[in-house]
Amino acid sequence: MNQQEKALYLPKNKDVLNWKIKTLARSPREMMITQSIFIAVYVIGSTLYMWGGWIMFSDSLYSLVGTILAFAGILAYFICLLIR
């Protein structure tokens, strides 16, 4: 493809820089409720996982600490994802 062919595909009007950032159209209260529900579901799932694997975790303290740190990191990521 040469320069003339590339120039044919460029937009000719001023709409190139005419864009908007799309955000969630929700009130802060609704966002907080959604975030709280999401965190509650995550904590319940994590608790069930810890309860189900308690025999393995009681044998190895490093597995327990590593799992708790992983859960905390994932939860922090999801909270930051919802806040932005």
**Per-residue pLDDT, 17:** 64
Predicted TM-score (pTM) of the model is 0.57
pLDDT in tens, the chain (84 residues): 566 565 566 666 666 666 666 666 778 788 888 888 888 888 898 888 888 888 888 888 888 888 889 889 888 887 787 666
Q: Where do the structural domains in the chain lie, given as residue ranges?
A: 26-83
3-state secondary structure 17-76: HCCCCCCCCCCHHHHHHHHHHHHHHHHHHHHHHHHHCHHHHHHCHHHHHHHHHHHHHHHH
**Per-residue pLDDT, 83:** 67
**Per-residue pLDDT, 50:** 84
